[in-house]
């Protein structure tokens, strides 16, 4: 679809992205590798060579070449270890199917991200209501 390496694209995506995201590369239901921005996304607990977790949307979505799935909610412990999962407020995942590979795009809203958003919203509300 994008005619780019399944290593170059995920690395660039997480390195230059601003949100807490990662990319997990899967083939035949097995995790091949994962990429995350250190300090921006929690540790991915499912290591290379392991089966895709049953709680992931990956096994239930059809693997149609070039298909991009809708964004679906998932449980944080689907991809994260217990300690990191406790610090995640909400988690979603989206799939891209390309040349027999599935790229899973998990997105984590950590409690610190949610608190930061609420603080910004509170300040913005205070600024806009003062007149």
The string of pLDDT tens digits covering residues 82-97 is 888 888 888 899 888 8
pLDDT tier at 129, thresholds 50, 70, 90: very low
Lowest-confidence segment of 4-18, 78-92, 109-123 by average pLDDT? 109-123
Residue 74 lies in a domain: yes
**Selected residue with higher pLDDT from 121 and 40:** 40
* 23 lies in some domain: yes
Q: How confident is the model at residue 52 (pLDDT cuts 50, 70, 90)?
A: very high
Q: What is the mean pLDDT of the chain?
A: 78
Query: 0.85 cut: is pTM over it?
Result: no
User: Which token pair is 125?
Assistant: 């509300």
Domain assignment of residue 82, yes or no: yes
Measure the CA–CA gap between 36 and 38, rounded to whole angstroms: 6
How big is the chain by its Cα radius of gyration, in Å? 16
- Residue 71 counted as domain residue: yes
Q: pLDDT over 70 for what percent of the chain?
A: 74
* DSSP H or E run through 68: none
Count of other CB atoms within 10 angstroms of residue 85: 17
Number of separate domains in the chain: 1
How many Cβ atoms from other residues are within 10 Å of residue 32's Cβ?
Answer: 15
Tokens encoding 18: 């601003």
CA pair distance 100, 66, nearest whole angstrom: 10
Length of the chain: 131
Q: Cα separation of 57 and 91, whole Å?
A: 12
* 117 located within any domain: yes
More confident residue, 6 or 22: 22
Check: CB of residue 24 under 8 Å from CB of residue 107. Answer: no
Q: Please give the Cα distance from 117 to 103 (Å, whole number).
A: 28
Whether residue 114 is predicted with pLDDT greater than 70 in this model: the reply is: no
Please check whether residue 2 lies inside any domain of the structure.
Answer: no
Q: Answer yes or no: is 65 within a domain.
A: yes
Q: Give a yes or no: residue 1 inside a domain.
A: no
Residue 99: give the domain boundaries. 8-129
| Cross-strand partners of 36 | 22
């Amino acid at each position: 679809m994008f005619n780019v390496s399944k290593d170059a694209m995920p690395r660039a995506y997480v390195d230059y992205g601003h949100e807490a995201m990662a990319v997990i590369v899967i083939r035949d239901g097995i995790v091949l590798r994962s990429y995350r921005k250190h300090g921006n996304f929690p540790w991915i607990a499912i290591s290379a060579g392991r089966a895709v977790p049953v709680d992931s949307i990956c096994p239930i979505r059809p693997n149609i070449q070039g298909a991009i799935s809708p964004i679906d909610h998932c449980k944080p412990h689907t991809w994260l270890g217990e300690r990191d999962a406790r610090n995640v407020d909400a988690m979603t995942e989206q799939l891209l199917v390309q040349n027999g590979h599935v790229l899973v795009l998990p997105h984590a809203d950590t409690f610190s991200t949610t608190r930061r958003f609420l603080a910004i919203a509170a300040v913005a509300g205070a600024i806009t209501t003062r007149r």
